[in-house]
Structure 1
Amino acid sequence: MERTASAYWRGSIQRGRGEVTTASGVLKNSPYSFSTRFENAPGTNPEELIAAAHASCFAMALSGALTKAGFEPKALDVTAAVSIEKDGEGFTVRSSKLKLRAQVPNIDGAKFSTIAEDAKKNCPISKLLNAEITLEARLEGAQNYGSPSKPSQQSSSAV
């Protein structure tokens, strides 16, 4: 399976502009520029797109892993924060911080944490990133059994 996107850029790095489009059409001529990337101007940027990819990939990986283990999630609310830092002459993506709020009936906190950590490590986007990936997971809901889940603060580097 292969997915595609295209980027169009014209001009210098600081005054130029670009547009990004996905083959699915979900993004069509979405603007990006130096100011959308580094100055919070309206538009998208590569790190935001990576964060969206990582959050959605992790949510699907976790849903699949929970379902395989016999637990159907009621809701998985995932946020990814991708950090970029100056690195010599350029920039490097240093980390992706996943935050998860989950409602999963009939699962205890320990089992939930184990499955969530495994999904974090094995999500295809996690494997793609050469950055520190952290997960803070919170299991919610009165239908859960066992002890409440403690946030997972473990980190792992992508393979």
Structure 2
Amino acid sequence: MQSTIKAVWQGSFKQGNGQFATENSKLSNSAFRPSYVENDGTFTNPEELLAAAHASCFTMTLSYILGENGFSADQLETSVSLIISNNVITNSNLSLQAKIDGITEEEFRNLALKAKEMCPVGNVLKAESSLEATLIL
């Protein structure tokens, strides 16, 4: 599998802006600017896109693992918080809330940790990755 994105930047770093194109997504032609610029909702930034990629990848990976183990989630909700220090992403912290009938707390934690280890986006990050997982009973 290969995924290709093309990014184009115009102008200076502070006043310029960018746009990226995707091959298979409605995200194509989305605008991006640096994360420090006040966001009016018309653009995104690389950090936000990376967090979205990590959250969605982890959630899909967990859904796959649950299915392989005989479970189906009513809902998996994952948020990611990136920690950036001196222009380096040092942590990508996952927070998961899940509603899964018939699973024990121990099974849930083990499968969530397995998903964290198997997530391709999480694996490509050089940052530490943490997981906070909550099963809603």
Asked if 1:125 is matched to 2:121, the reply is yes
CA distance, structure 2, for counterparts of residue 60 and residue 25 of structure 1: 17
In the TM superposition, residue 41 of structure 1 has moved relative to its aligned partner by 1.7
Aligned counterpart, 1:3? 3
| CA RMSD between the two structures | 1.2
Q: Structure 1 runs of 4+ off > 3 angstroms? A: none
**Cα deviations by residue, 1:102-157 (Å, 9 ceiling, x for unpaired):** 0111011011001101111110011110001111100013xxxxxxxxxxxxxxxx
- Compute the TM-score of the two structures, normalised by the length of structure 2: 0.92
Larger radius of gyration, structure 1 or 2? 1
| Aligned counterparts of 2:84 and 2:108: Cα–Cα separation in 1 | 30
Stretches of structure 1 lacking an aligned partner (at least 5 in a row): 142-159
SS across alignment from 1:39: coil
Unaligned runs of 5+ in 2: none
The aligned residue for residue 30 of structure 2 is 30
Distance 1:40 1:136, change over 3 A: farther
Deviation at 1:23, TM superposition (A): 1.1
1:92 equivalent among 82, 88, 91? 88
Is the 1:47–1:83 Cα contact (8 Å) retained in structure 2?
no
Q: Distance between the aligned counterparts of 1:52 and 1:100, measured in 2?
A: 14
Tell me the amino acid that sits aligned with residue 59 of structure 2: A
Counting aligned pairs with the same residue, the percent is 39
Q: Kindly indicate whether structure 1 or structure 2 has the higher relative contact order, using CA contacts under 8 Å at least 6 residues apart.
A: 2
Aligned partners of 2:116 and 2:136: how far apart in 1? 19
* Superposition deviation, residue 55 in structure 1: 0.6
How many equivalent residue pairs?
135
Query: Residues 78-114 of structure 1, C-alpha deviation per residue, up to 9 Å, x if partnerless?
Result: 111122221xxxx211111111110111011011001
Q: 1:54 maps to which residue?
A: 54
1:137 and 2:137 equivalent? no
Normalization by structure 1: what TM-score?
Answer: 0.80
